[in-house]
Each structure stands twice: as C-alpha cells, then as structure tokens.
Structure 1
Amino acid sequence: MQMAPSIPGPHEGFMPGFGNDYETEALPGALPQGMNSPQKCNYGLYGEQLSGTAFTAESVERTWCYRIRPSVKHSHRYEKIDVPAWKSAPCVDPDVTSLGQYRWDPMPHTEEALTWITGMRTMTTAGDVNTQVGMASHVYLVNTTMEDDYFFSADSELLVIPQEGVLRFSTELGIIDLEPKEIAIIPRGLLYRVEVLEGPARGFVCENYGQKFELPGRGPIGANCMANPRDFKAPVAAFEDREVPSTVTVKWCGQFHRTNIDQSPLDVVAWHGNYAPVKYDLRTYCPVGAILFDHPDPSIFTVLTAPSGQPGTANIDFVLFRERWMVAEDTFRPPWYHKNIMSELMGNIYGQYDAKPQGFVPGGMSLHNMMIPHGPDKNAFEGASEAKLEAEKLDNTMSFMIETRFPQHLTDFAGRQAPMQDDYIDCWSDLEKKFDGKPGKK
C-alpha cells in the first residue's frame, strides 16, 4: 500500500507501472478492502468511479475514488466561455494552406499573464473531436498559476511534453511535478490545477481524441528495450480539504464551459484502479536500431501509440529521437527522403537534430503533412554521404515526432501569427543533380 499525507505537506512518491492497477491512500483505512462500494465508507467519504472506457470494453479502465464530496456538487450551471486560442478538430481555415513543408521558431514568451488554459496555442488539428478520432497539437506558454481554478477535458487525454520551466499538476489522484526531459499523460475526465514552479514555462501538447495511449507491441524485439511499463509513474493519493470559492472549466466537444464551486475539488483521500495520470522520464527510453547496415523506419523509436482500430495504423504515434549510437556500415544514416501516408509533426526539446543541423532549434516545430516529400537538407545529405562510417554517438539531442493517420490542418495561429520560417523550403533548393549515367560502386 502506498501512503501519502494530505496537502499541505510532503507529497513525493510515485507508483510504478503503466496500465496496472494501483492503490493508494492518504489516511490509514480510507481505502476499502475487498469491495469497491461499501454501504458506508470510512471517514464519511463518498465512493465515486471514474471510467475511462465503456463498461463493456475488452480492456476496462476505471478508478474508484473515495472523496470528501462527490464531484457532482457545484453551485451553478455550466456557462459557455470563450478560449479563442485553443481549437479542436474539425478546424479547417479555407484561407490557410496546410499542404506543404512548414517549420516554426520557438514561440516567444510574453508579459501577458497566461495560465494553462489561456496559454494554450493550437497549431494543428486532425480528425473530429465529436466522433472521438484524431488529435490536435498545441504549444503552451504558461507563466501564471491557476489560483482556485480547475480544469478537465471531456474530449481528450493530454500528452504533455515540457521544453522549458517546471509545472506542477495537482490532480484529483495526486501531484505530478513535470520538467523538461519528462512527459506526462493526463487522462480524459481527470480534474486538475496547473501551478508554475519555475517559469515561464513552454512546451508541447498532443491532445488525443481517440483511444488511449499505450505501449506499442514490440514484436520480434521482445520483452526489453524501448519504453518499459515500470518507468511510468503514477502519483500517490494527496487531498485538499479547503472551503474556498473556486471555478471548474470543462472542455467538451471543442467548447469550453465554466461553473462555480465552494471548495477545492482535489479531495480524493484514497483511490484504486488503472485509470490515472502518469509521468515518464524520456531518459529511460532505450532505443534500438540497425547494427550492421540500413536505416530502420522511425517507428522503431515509438514510445507510445494510440490505436485507431485499423491494425498497424495508429490514430497517433509518439516517437522519440534521443541520444544513441550510429554504427551501420555502408548506410545513409540520417532519415532518408520520403513521402508518408502518416502526417508528421516534430518538436525539438533540446540539442541538434541530425537531419536538420540548422534551423530546427530547441522549442521549434515542423510539419510535413501526409504525402508531402521531406528529408535532409543539403548539408546533412552531403555530410552523411561523405562521412567515414565509424561508430559515432549522437549526443545532446532530443526531438520527438507526433504521427497521425489523419492530415493535420494548420490553425490561423499557426499560419499567420506563429513565428513561421518562410524560407524553410529553401533548405532543399541547393540540392544538386548528381546523375552522371555511370554506375556507382558495387
């Protein structure tokens, strides 16, 4: 049994595992044993279930919460509010062209007070939030703590990828402090508050409308390497018992609504289940690759996948390019030129990406939409073509890719306001014709 005191006070502690059942209590005896819904819970708590799948799903995900007040208690009806920079699919601007190769510099920080909600800037959308397929990609700029203000998304789970600053996610199920080189998954329907521990904070968010993220099947790779379940950490129980006027904002079918409550809703004293927020240290990801010749597909670097229902074709893949050894002989080692049925959005967490030595800087993003050609710039191509192929370690590098089976549509913000590199396509303009009609080496 994992134990944690109530807030305020220490709350450090995480439970290992991903998709496993957890149990944790912040007060001894708060967690019922042998049953989920006793006639009366200890401490006068209310039993409440949070379901992340349908009741009859093949793999049911749910968590039982034992809380001070049921979450249904709020003092006003939900009222619609405007959150103009956070968009949901379908969001197709007829005046913004999404077909092409795009790259952006890091989003600049601002003196404007921005919370987790008001600081979200949607870059692309794909699929349809109303039918629970597809995704959206965002950049967050956060410099202000949510004070007695709470949020949950009924539309999606959020994959959070920090690039600068440290955020605290105070959730119904416990606390996650998140910094660069880590990621967090915040489940659909889970209520939380975001606080700035070190700011200003900037990062990326993949909003997943579809089936939950899970570990990919490893196939012939077997039981080890890539991401291991034990490295995904869930928080221990920690609760607030505060009577204070507060607000709850809900994202539902792409719209935002707010209601008032008279207390902190983070009042879960104990919980057990398999539907919980987790964080993962990207430095624990163990890449695999070719050790003789040839360049594997980037899918070999998949950390998480969200299935689409079509085997082998994901709603979303989250792929990580981190430090690794390059050892393949007689091989073009950087990513090759290609067109892909999947649309690819990339972000740079730190360091230099090997296929784009210039221009793709930490905090920056790029988009290569479905069936749009892309690949190394001239310097990367020439360097890799002429390099003496010895064992070489790629150091000081961590970028990620979000792939989806859907085309990603640029928002007005991405197309007109974000710091787009208008000369990005010029990085391929000086690629030279090398064909001479003569056979090369055998």
Structure 2
Amino acid sequence: MPITNFDFKEKYQYQNGFGCYFETEAVPGALPIGQNSPQKPPLGLYAEKLSGTAFTAPRHENKQSWLYRILPACTHPPFAPAPAPNESLGLGGEPFRRLRHIPNQLRWDPFDREPDADFVSGLHLLAGAGDPTVKQGCAVYVFAAGRSMAEREAFYSADGELLLVPQEGVLDIRTEMGWLLVRPMEICVIPRGVRYQVRLPAGPARGYALEVFQGRFVLPELGPIGSNGLANARDFQAPVASFDEDCGATASDGPNEYVVTAKFNNALFRTTQRHTPFDVVAWHGNYYPYKYDLGRFNTIGSISFDHPDPSIFTVLSAPSDHPGTSVADFVIFPPRWLVGEDTFRPPWYHRNTMSEFMGLIRGDYDAKKGGKGGFVPGGASLHNVMSGHGPDVDSYEGARNAELKPAKVGEGSCAFMFESSLMLGVTDWGLKTCQKVQETYSEHSWGGVKVHWKGGSA
C-alpha cells in the first residue's frame, strides 16, 4: 500500500513537489506581481529575502525564498548567550572537540523519554564529525520531549539543515512559512535559518535527527532505474503560508514577548522581541521546509539473485564535493518482497568506508533480533568506518537455512540508516551519560557465529 495509514489524521493543506519553486499567500494580493521588492510591497508588508545558498551559486543549486511579512526578522534586541539545556547541546564547539572516535560496534537501548523537556531541551547530540563554523560535516541527534514548546517561542539553527525522524508521538511544527504535521513514518527537513516551533498534540514524542553542515538534502540520482522510483518528487509536501498578527505600532512596543533561540556553532543564544516571528503572510521561492511519508517510498531490489547495495534504499542524500560520495544519506529498510534465488537474503556481512548509524522506527529489523538486549524501536546502532558488522548469529542461521520462496519481510516495520562518508565521533553523553550503551552488543550478536568451513587442509 503506497501510503501510511496514520492514526493521527492530517489537518493541513500542502504544496506537493520536491525542489519546486512555489508561491503561496494567506491573504489574496499579498504577493507582488512581476518583481520581488517593490518600493511599497502589497498590504504594507516588508519584503525579506532568505538565501540558502550563495547569490552566485549555479542556477540548479541556487536556493532562496522571498518572504512578505508584517515585520522583518532583524527587528529584535541583541542575542545573548543562553544556558545549555543539557551536556551535549548548547556548549558551543566543546562537544565536537571531545568526540570519542572508536572502532567498536555500538548499540543503544531505547533512549529515555523526558517528560519535562521540550523539543530544544530534549535534543541530544549523540555523534558527529566536522565543524559547523566552516560548514563541513554533520551531526546525529536523538530527541525526547514531554511537552510542547511555549506558545510564544521559536527556534532555529544557523549550523545546518535538519532532518527529523519521529519514532513515537506527533510533531505539529509551526514554521515561518506554514505548518507541517509530522508523524512516525514521516520525516521532515527544516532548512538552515528557518524559525520554527514544535508542539506535541498527541503527548510525548521521541525520535532521531540528522543535521548536515554543508550542502543540503537532494533526491538521489536514479541512473539506469529510469525516471521514477525510490522517493518520487510529487510525494514531498511543503507548507502553505499561515501567519499570526501580534505586534504594536512599532517592532519594540507590542503587547506580548516572544523568545527566539538560535543554535549557532552548537551554542544557544536567545533574544526576546515584542512581535511574533510567525508573521509571514506570503512567500515564494525554492527554500522551504518539507515533509515526506515513508510509506510512499517505491522500494526497488533484486528479482534474480544477490542482495543489492543498501544505497538502493536511499530517500535523500546530502552530496559532498566528490561525485557519488555523500556527507550523509538517509536510507530506509521498509516492507519489501525478497525473491532472490540461491541468495542469502538479509544484508550481508560488511566493512564499509562509510559510517552507518541505524535506528528503528517500528517493528523488527530482518538482520537483527529484537527483544531485551536487541535492536528495538527507539534504540540505535553505530558501525563506524571499517568496523565489521552484519546479521547476528540467529538471523544468519535462520536465513542460511530458510526455504527460498517469495517472502515479504518487514511488514509493520521500518528501520533507517544515516550513512556518512565521515568518521563519526561519539559524545560523552552518547557513551556514558545516557546509560544506554549495550556493553555486550558484540558478544550477543556475533560471539556465537558458527564455523561452517568444510574444506581440507592447505
């Protein structure tokens, strides 16, 4: 079924397409016609350009949007340093300087729910590489929130583009450019600099996040697959304009205070302004947040023999400067049919020049057993550069001896992978403070791997 049946039903309208140039207005006539910055924009609005790439980036890479808002984003008092909400976020570059780079395979039990945290205070840096100040690298987070952000609060990251993967709970995300409802089995991408607020309409939420400091997420090239397949462009959804009107006669004399928090080199800064940041009445451009239903992914695989490379399951990719190599890919392992003849059907044993961080949204993963001490929803694993990994012993023996008839695997399940060309270091929070590392992961998974060798002596 090429669509997820969500328990929490959709409540917003969207514009469909990936990388499109959209225009939307919440009030008719708010968009200027034929130009971007007239002397007096319609309805007394201000024109503000939001640039996601350099002005002179090639046309096919250039990302920008024009926002038509009641007050421009610059109308606030100076930002001041804000206290760190936890020991991995808000401390500037220190967690990156203290990353632990180790070759061991790592797996985590499900991360704790945090009933007193909102999205920002419940966002934990787990692993990363590079430096956001030079726009190089990426970061892996987990988040757990028990309450909505305050009604008059907004957050943005100047560090990179953020991909959110909710595992439980519903995210009702208000952005400057409109609303996104994001449920488990959906993802969303928030571009660098876009201000937003996360509400929890169905109770506590938990999930994973990937931030790329360089470039942006794009659809992978399809090559010989042809013109359709994998994540199709028409299934991505962008918000329509929606705004509040809460301000005074000037930017500094409104009746209410709004707190805007910025993540800047992994440090937090805060300002309080006298008008809502969600006052964009209309916008047009190709730089905007969007979401995608993973149930619409058109899975492609082998119909003869052998398991293909997992790159065939790539939803989004953040390319590096080297063609074919990504800063990070977002890959999923959804329900799919396996029909390979004389084939070991789960993913094979592997050592990889890429780092592989995996999480489980729901169900069971066909190459790892669940249950206590296993790979379960809300948990994660990291197999770093050239660290050997693959099916655990029970999964291997089961697949090795299985009757090879057409079989559908992963029904009711979805695992995912953040794959990066970078060597990922793990934070102190990820290795120690969270207290979720499975110390016996390697022994549990591969300590009992059997010897099937039947050859003679050399």
Q: Quick one: distance in 2 between partners of 1:242 and 1:231?
A: 34
Q: Does 1:436 align with 2:454?
A: yes
Aligned to 1:423: 440
- Mapping for residues 249-328 of structure 1, pairs under 5 Å: 249-328=261-340
Matched, 1:106 2:117: no
Distance 1:95 1:291 in 2: 42
Task: Report the counterpart of residue 381 of structure 1 in structure 2.
Answer: 396
Please name the residue that 1:80 is paired with.
81
Aligned residues of 2:147 and 2:200 also touching (Cα < 8 A): yes
SS at match of 1:256: strand
Note the 1:163-242 alignment, pairs <5 A.
Answer: 163-242=167-246
Would the aligned equivalents of 1:345 and 1:366 in 2 still touch at CA under 8 Å?
A: yes
Structure 2 counterpart of 1:3: none
Compute the displacement of 1:93 (Å): 6.6
Distance 1:160 1:211 in 2: 17
Could you tell me which amino acid in structure 2 is paired with residue 415 of structure 1?
Answer: L
- Equivalent position amino acid for 1:245 in 2: E
Please state if 1:400 is matched with 2:420: no
Match of 1:384, SS state, is: helix
| Residues 219 and 26 of structure 1, relative CA distance in 2, 3 Å threshold | same
The whole-number CA distance in structure 2 between the counterparts of 1:319 and 1:110 is 27
Change (3 A) 1:169 1:94: closer
Q: 1:97 to 1:212 in 2, by over 3 A?
A: closer
One-letter code aligned to 1:109: R
Structure 2 residue runs of 5 or longer lacking an equivalent are 1-9, 248-255
What is the SS of the residue equivalent to 1:227?
Answer: coil
Counterparts of 1:375 and 1:129, CA distance in 2: 32
Amino acid of the structure 2 residue aligned with 1:81? A
User: Could you tell which deviates more after superposition, 78-87 or 32-41?
Assistant: 78-87
For residue 91 of structure 1, report the CA deviation from its aligned partner. Answer: 3.6
Structure 1 segments of 4 or more deviating over 6 A?
Answer: 87-90
Q: Distance in 2 between matches of 1:224 and 1:82?
A: 47
Tell me the equivalent position of 1:120: 123
Distance 2:48 2:101 in 1: 46
Distance in 2, matches of 1:98 and 1:237, equals: 46
After superposition, the C-alpha distances for 1:93-113 in whole angstroms (9 at most, x for unaligned) are 7694532101111112134x2
Please list every run of 5 or more consecutive structure 1 residues that lacks an aligned counterpart in the other structure. 1-9
Give the equivalent residue in structure 2 for 1:18: 18
Partners in 2 of 1:216 and 1:78 — Cα distance?
38
Q: Are the counterparts in 1 of residues 99 and 426 from structure 2 also a CA contact under 8 Å?
A: no
Q: For the residues of structure 1 that align with 2:100 and 2:313, how far apart are their CA atoms?
A: 32
- Indicate whether 1:61 and 2:78 are aligned: no
Per-residue CA distance 1:81-129 (angstroms, 9 max, x = gap): 2323326767457694532101111112134x21111010111011221
CA distance in 1, matches of 2:285, 2:442: 49
Corresponding residue SS for 1:214? coil
1:42 deviates by 1.3
Higher strand share: 1
- Provide the residue aligned with 1:390 in structure 2: 405
Residue 154 of structure 2 contacts residue 196 of structure 2 at CA under 8 Å; is this kept in 1?
Answer: yes
- Paired residues of 2:368 and 2:395 also in contact (CA < 8 A): yes
Would you say the 8 A contact 1:89–1:126 is kept in 2? no
